[in-house]
Amino acid sequence: MGRPPSTVPDGWSGGPRRSLGRSSSGSHEALPPRIGPYLLEGELGRGGMGRVYSARHAQTGAKVAVKLLLEPCPELFARFQREVEAQARADRHPSVLRIHTAGLADGRAYVVMDLAPGGSLEERLRRGPLAPLQAAALVRDLARGLAHAHACGVLHRDLKPANVLFGERGEPLLTDFGPARLAGSDRLTRTGEVLGTPAAMAPEQALGEVDRIDERTDVYGLGALLYACLSGRLPFEGGTLIATLDRVVHQAPQAPSSVQPGVPSALEELCLAALAKDPADRPPSAAAFADALDAFLAGAGAPTTPRRRGVLLAGALAVGALAVGVLAAALLARSPRAAAPTPAAARPEPGAAADRATERRALGPVARAEALLARGEVAGALRLLREAAPIDPAACLRLLRIGREHPEAGVSEEERSRLLAGLALRPASKDPDLEAEVLTALFAPPCRFPQDARRRFRAWAKAHGRERPARGRALARQALKGLSPEARGAFYEDLAALHRDLPSAVSLLAEEAISDLAQGRSYGGTHLGADRAQDPLQLLLELAKKDHPEALYLHTFVVWKFGLGSAAEVRRGFQRAARAGNPDAPWALSLLAAEQGREEEQRKFLDKAVACKSRPGLVWQAVLLADEDPERARTLLERRLPLWRNPLGPEYDYRARAHCVLGKLLLRGSPSPTERARALELLRGAAGAGNAEARELLESLDAAR
């Protein structure tokens, strides 16, 4: 808080030289007495990537710590850069070790940090566990620092006693952000790769499930730190690496009180909640965990027994933060009293959760900020929203919107990036509409955090895509608008994978394929050309090969209208789509028959399309009735055309023709002013879509006036 920003170079040009680090014999080379303006004095410790030395500035005499990368391996150098950037982003909090500068000196990569003379938590715990209140206060302070890091877009991912140092006044300091993940960056961690310390890592880390790692992964790390402080050891110490990882994933940790008697049960509940196997069962954020520890400390004046657990948790709820309420509810659900069945009369009604969420929002910082804005108190509203933004996504979204709509409000581009980074790393909201708003903000062009946004979109679509199809389509369109061309290809793959969950996924792929083809982008020959894993048309083809009804129909339609296949291939494709159950395939077969002059076959397929309730088929039946029975055709078109929404690329031709026919029917006889206005609107739309007949009719009407 109030610290000057760290100085970290934008580029580390050249990288480390091969001669640095270990010699070929494996012995360490002698280190120079000086790195830049810093004189090295003695080794403080060593880790996976380098060594840390005490040092002093040659001119000022200021004492600092200098970390040197000793291995010349490019991947380690990249991780070293990542560590420095992550810690520099987060170090303006008093519980994060501050970085002074970083760079290359004589080809050696180094970083200069505050000296922490109090040693590490690991060293302190060798003398035994901490007193419960001391442990709670220490982890509470670390949780506050971690919440700040999360708000800056940084996940630590390696919380353990060795990575907690003590400053001059004994204050705990987070350090060693080596495995950290930065929101929106190209990840150095691949799916299936395990980074971190096995005895302290979350199950999703142990399984290498990169897409599931978020703020709650670090909450698990805080739980592991609290466990170590209370018991003197990490939750799953001992055994081989594989055995440890297996226990992390499948075995519940031993209760701290069984290792070290005297641990208050309320504090033990908080610790074990943070160590839950499923991220959804943990406190939702580091800030929420810190609030719960604050509440425990506020109510811990008397000895704690299991009987007092509900009292303590009620105290936590009274702190006022929504996150604490969520945590308290989760803990109460685990208590013995919560095991009794809820009487029917006391059970909440289906809409009760939504009503409570609405009530919370009405009393929350966003509503208070809106009231301030209505009174013209912009500065007060911004201050309120900025205070709430690290733990309240709704406040974060409102702040972003103010910055977008009112540039004079002073929401800088740097603050906007920081807010988006915090949103990207937060766990998904359980409110589908709020989560959709978060996704809309993350996908806004240019999308800064494509991997995080795509991960959250996949989760949202799987959970809510079928019940909210229009919102899902809008989110996908926003993604396609905001993602870079490179990221868009991966999003096409997401859409293909979500074809069962997102009703519009297949039609969106078809629209993108049509857009590419209409703009002259090549697909490398025929539609059965070389492998193009991220091309929308190729992805459509892969789904069509699995007899997906809509993919079969749309892929064949695109191939037909853009001349990418023979008439025989097109016919077979539509027949397969019809057999698979697509209702519009018979309509397409009727159009194909009409093109080839087979009128009887055209009628047969059109009748089948009408029987299948194909929307374009029903419209087309009315179009063909226009000459035989104009009044009936008009009635049918008035009723059916609105059902044919979101016409797909080549189908615009047919929809435009239907609009033209209805426009002509409305102009028959003596139309009323309303009918005439509607007819002109339909004809202009049809002409704009390329219908020549509509264009000619409009020209003749203009000439007649």
Decide: 478 and 443 in contact? Cβ < 8 Å.
Answer: yes
State the Cα–Cα distance between residues 404 and 392, nearest whole angstrom. Answer: 19
Catalytic residue among 141, 158, 176, 218: 158
Decide: 400 and 411 in contact? Cβ < 8 Å.
Answer: yes
* Torsion from C-alpha of 20, 26, 30, 34, nearest 10 degrees: 40
Q: Which two tokens stand for residue 568?
A: 């025989």
State the Cα–Cα distance between residues 167 and 125, nearest whole angstrom. Answer: 16
Q: Which residues contact 31 (CB under 8 A, 6 or more apart)?
A: 40, 53, 68
DSSP string, 619-652: HHHHHHTTTT-HHHHHHHHHHHGGGS-S--TTHH
Q: Count the alpha carbons within 13 Å of 365 in the hemisphere toward its beta carbon.
A: 23
Burial of 274 (0-12, 13-18, 19+ CB in 10 A): buried
Q: Count the alpha carbons within 13 Å of 225 in the hemisphere toward its beta carbon.
A: 35
Task: Report residue 406: phi and psi, to 5°.
Answer: -135, 85
Q: Quick count: other Cβ atoms within 10 Å of Cβ 372? A: 17
Q: Hey, what amino acid is at 364?
A: G
Which among 484, 529, 475, 521 has a CA at the least distance from the CA of 502? 475
State the Cα–Cα distance between residues 659 and 664, nearest whole angstrom. Answer: 9
CA distances from 434 to 114, 184, 367, 429, 441 (A): 40, 21, 15, 7, 11
Which among 251, 332, 319, 330 has a CA at the least distance from the CA of 290? 319
Cis peptide upstream of residue 5 (ω within 30 degrees of 0): no
State the Cα–Cα distance between residues 659 and 639, nearest whole angstrom. Answer: 13
Rounded to 5°, angle at Cα 473 from 655 and 204: 155
SS3 content of the chain, % helix, strand, coil (to 5): 55, 10, 35
User: In b/e form, how buried is each residue of 219-236, taking b as 16+ CB within 10 angstroms?
Assistant: bbbbbbbbbbbbbbbbbb
Decide: 200 and 221 in contact? Cβ < 8 Å.
Answer: yes
Residues making up the chain, counted from first to last: 705
State the Cα–Cα distance between residues 34 and 57, nearest whole angstrom. Answer: 10
Q: Hey, what amino acid is at 327?
A: L
Q: For this structure, is 158 an active site residue?
A: yes
Give the DSSP H or E segment for 45: strand 38-46
Which three-class secondary structure state does DSSP give residue 22? strand
State the Cα–Cα distance between residues 657 and 651, nearest whole angstrom. Answer: 10
CA distances from 170 to 117, 118, 162, 403 (A): 9, 6, 15, 40
Q: Which residues are catalytic?
A: 158
